[in-house]
Structure 1
Amino acid sequence: MDFPRPPRRLLLPLVVVLALASLSTGPARGAPAHPAEPSGRTAAAAPSAAVTFSDDFDGPAGAAVDSGKWQIETGDNVSNHERQYYTAGNRNAALDGQGHLVITARRENPGNYQCWYGRCEYTSARLNTAGRFTTTYGRVEARMKVPRGQGMWPAFWMLGNDIGQVGWPASGEIDVMENVGFEPSTVHGTLHGPGYSGSGGIGAGYTLPGGQASADAFHTFAVDWSPNAITWSVDGTVYQRRTPADLGGRPWVFDKPFFLILNLAVGGYWPGDPDGSTVFPQRLLVDHVRVSTNTGQPGGGPITGIGGKCVDVAGGNAANGTPVQLHDCNGTPAQQWTVGADGTIRALGKCLDVAAGKTADGTPVQLYDCNGTPAQQWAVPAARDIVNPQADKCLDATGGSSANGTRLQIWTCTGAAHQKWTVTR
């Protein structure tokens, strides 16, 4: 996005205090996005993943959010010339009694709040999990229905938990979803860090098909975050993936704890101010926020098969479509595999994938961007098979060979030696 965009994130005094307290107690520019696979496969949250944070916003109408999970920020935001005052309590952030959090932006000022431009014209709300919950890696998602209208700016995003020590943008910022009212069908996902912040953030937009407006229905916005890779999706459709290679040598600051933020801003440099067409109040409805594990955590080890050979990414190449083969075990990262609770098997920051999502005997397996599809789901039972449940077929060394370079594929499970694997967890 080429719009001027100073740091939206900072209600600085409060955020810094919160980040320090937590620590003491224990349109973007850039390289083109890596697209989803041309086959059109889509991503979805894997049901077997372990949930580490969840809020379904169940409770009586008018109740405040769970203070054990969220805290409310207050004040204005001169950094980005937003027009709202974020209020405390449940006036602008409350449950609706139907399983939703409602963040409401109103044209009002019942408390005679003062903003950077004088007497505030609007109120809204902003919540974060600093001091309550942080995560390093995983699937981070929210199902939301955004507001509509010129000047509306809803966002679901994350900040590095060390912001109180290193400041922004060194802390890093991961924008899972932002929408500005003048783009009713488009949302944006962006990374901000040292040397690529504000309007220089690295990201991309996603436009809903068929002229749908984001405010017409609930949508699920997510990132799948692992070491050296972050992938964005909307309703399961992957639209960009970012790695350190996209940063042109600038620091990758996304391998540490981050906390979550939800807010609805009114006006600012990027969305512009409300105008005569903007109807108030406007509401951001949040059905759930959830963080679950994926196989992004460091670790893993070799997977060995027939002849004691290792499952190997050919040439140590992390490019999409790289063959997966047998090779002499050598301890390189190309042979370090992590088997996770989300059903994926990963190496080099990518997933073991059945090519094009096919299910036929002889379909080769490859390395590919992780996208949560059935082609990347594997079961590893005690019988030492590695099974793709979608195909109901086993990981297989082609021709029963143990020669270096033997391509791996899926095949009907036979119990043969070339379908037996020893997984190091």
Structure 2
Amino acid sequence: MKRSLMAAGAILLGAALLQAPARAVPDTAAAPTATIWEDNFDGPAGQAPDPNKWKYDIGGSGWGNNERQYYTNSTRNSALDGNGNLVITARRESGGFQCHYGTCEYTSARLLTAQTFTQTYGRFEARIKIPRTQGIWPAFWMLGGGNWPNDGEIDIMENIGREPSTVHGTIHGPGYSGGAGIGAAYTLSGGQQFADAFHTFTVDWAPDSITWYVDGIQYQRRTPADLGGNTWVFNHPFFMIMNVAVGGNWPGYPDGTTVMPQTMTVDYVRVSTLGSSSGGTAITGLAGKCVDVAAANTADGTQVQLYDCNGTNAQQWTRPGDGTIRALGKCLDVNAGSVADGAKVQLWTCNGTPAQQWVYTSGRDLVNPQANKCLDVTGNNSANATPLQTWTCTGAANQKWTV
């Protein structure tokens, strides 16, 4: 996914906005639970990163920020080091790569999961040793699609080389993109520099909040109330990106002090579900039992069923206000958007379709408006693991829910 006009987009951040000193923030985010995706970068030195997990953006378009590097898929620019790390290397070249302004003087790499992994909500974390030098711009971030800024952007960690002790976390969306992005900075104490050691960069993303951490220290939390009336667009799947840019409108350009090559070393990238303290509650129905995701499985198509209430994350549901009902980072979904009686109800990646819209009525029905049918316990059977379905609304006990 190319950022081109994400430009000013992806990360041209106003200095005044981002220079606030790090401060203690009450930790209101949930603890992570199950790991649902990770890469520990195990493999022999010189091997390319796992192609089943990472793809590449390639080219020297300037990426909407007047950057100077050409991104490649060469192992000269991204490869395992044989010690359980991925190394992204920015290099000065003698030419040969065509850029928007002529011949690129630098190469680097930009890896992303747009074609391999997307996720709505959870803990997104990486342990990284970043580079430092004038004009260098390492980042670990996420995009919600190609329609920037309407699809949203979450910057988990960005650094510009002239600020070796400071990283930035920011969100971008419609009305708060580019220099109007909403974020804060975290600065190491005592003159420490991020390039001297590995540090862990984390966001906890819930339906109504995004919380940033460095080395487990929370330094920022944003909610819809921070947007000044603009739209909160962080309620659909995002993918991850790691890159090292050279030059650009925000970091400035290499000069006589710049040292090349520069490397960003990544120990791991991990995505986990969040615990119920992110705002989930149980939905109870027939015989006092709960709406449950079978085996707490986050795979698309997992059965949603009735089960004894047990307080697990498989029974913690949120209603973020967009008509969806969510658990484990995914949505309550009518299989294939069916409007027929007996349609399977399942867990599925949130996609904004009518199959994932629900209305809770004063009569305690959960209705899918597209089908005009109710969430229903199959066969009025209160046994554990009875699947849920949609059915013509009858007013019966097996269609009554407490949300």
| Number of the residue aligned with 2:193 | 213
| Aligned positions of 1:76-95 closer than 5 A | 76-78=60-62, 79-95=64-80
| Number of the residue aligned with 1:340 | 313
| Number of the residue aligned with 1:254 | 234
> What's the CA shift for 1:226?
0.2
Structure 1 293/34 Cα, relative in aligned 2: closer, same or farther at 3 Å?
farther
| Number of the residue aligned with 2:142 | 158
Distance 2:35 2:230 in 1: 32
Superimposed CA distance per residue, residues 303-332 of structure 1 (whole angstroms, 9 cap, x where no aligned partner): 9xxxxxxxxxxxxxxxxxxxxxxxxxxxxx
| Number of the residue aligned with 2:9 | 7
Contact 1:42 1:236 in 2 (8 A): no
> What's the CA shift for 1:8?
3.8
Determine what percentage of the aligned residue pairs are the same residue.
Answer: 60
| Number of the residue aligned with 1:106 | 91
Superimposed CA distance per residue, residues 132-177 of structure 1 (whole angstroms, 9 cap, x where no aligned partner): 100100000000000010011000000003x2xxx11001000000
Scaled by the length of structure 2, what TM-score is found? 0.65
Scaled by the length of structure 1, what TM-score is found? 0.62
> What's the CA shift for 1:340?
3.3
Distance 1:44 1:286 in 2: 25
Secondary structure at 2:9's aligned position in 1?
Answer: coil
Distance 1:244 1:273 in 2: 35
Distance 2:21 2:235 in 1: 20
- Quick check: 1:193 aligned with 2:173? yes
Secondary structure at 1:156's aligned position in 2?
Answer: strand
Distance 2:41 2:100 in 1: 33
Secondary structure at 1:155's aligned position in 2?
Answer: strand
Contact 2:59 2:70 in 1 (8 A): yes
Contact 1:170 1:194 in 2 (8 A): yes
Structure 1 266/291 Cα, relative in aligned 2: closer, same or farther at 3 Å?
same
Structure 1 338/107 Cα, relative in aligned 2: closer, same or farther at 3 Å?
farther
| Number of the residue aligned with 1:352 | none
Query: What residue identity is the alignment partner of 2:191?
Result: G
- Quick check: 1:118 aligned with 2:99? no
Secondary structure at 1:7's aligned position in 2?
Answer: helix
Distance 1:190 1:285 in 2: 22
The equivalent position to 1:282 in structure 2, one of 262, 273, 277, is: 262
Distance 1:284 1:102 in 2: 6
Structure 1 141/247 Cα, relative in aligned 2: closer, same or farther at 3 Å?
same
| Aligned positions of 1:137-152 closer than 5 A | 137-152=121-136
Structure 1 159/347 Cα, relative in aligned 2: closer, same or farther at 3 Å?
closer
Structure 1 171/204 Cα, relative in aligned 2: closer, same or farther at 3 Å?
same
Secondary structure at 2:185's aligned position in 1?
Answer: strand
Superimposed CA distance per residue, residues 235-273 of structure 1 (whole angstroms, 9 cap, x where no aligned partner): 000000000000001010001000000000000000000
Contact 1:44 1:236 in 2 (8 A): no
| Number of the residue aligned with 2:348 | none
Superimposed CA distance per residue, residues 59-114 of structure 1 (whole angstroms, 9 cap, x where no aligned partner): 0000001000000111024210101000123220000000000000000146x111
Distance 1:145 1:272 in 2: 21
Structure 1 153/72 Cα, relative in aligned 2: closer, same or farther at 3 Å?
same
Structure 1 44/233 Cα, relative in aligned 2: closer, same or farther at 3 Å?
farther
Secondary structure at 2:274's aligned position in 1?
Answer: coil
> What's the CA shift for 1:116?
1.5
Contact 1:60 1:95 in 2 (8 A): yes
The equivalent position to 2:159 in structure 1, one of 176, 179, 186, is: 179
Distance 1:302 1:30 in 2: 41
Distance 2:252 2:31 in 1: 34
Contact 2:21 2:186 in 1 (8 A): no
- Quick check: 1:61 aligned with 2:61? no
Structure 1 264/171 Cα, relative in aligned 2: closer, same or farther at 3 Å?
same
Q: How many residue pairs end up in the alignment? A: 289
> What's the CA shift for 1:9?
7.3
Contact 2:29 2:204 in 1 (8 A): no
Contact 2:25 2:220 in 1 (8 A): no
How well do the aligned residues superpose, as a CA RMSD in angstroms?
A: 3.3
Q: Structure 2: 5+ residue runs without aligned partners?
A: 1-5, 285-309, 321-401
Distance 2:218 2:270 in 1: 18
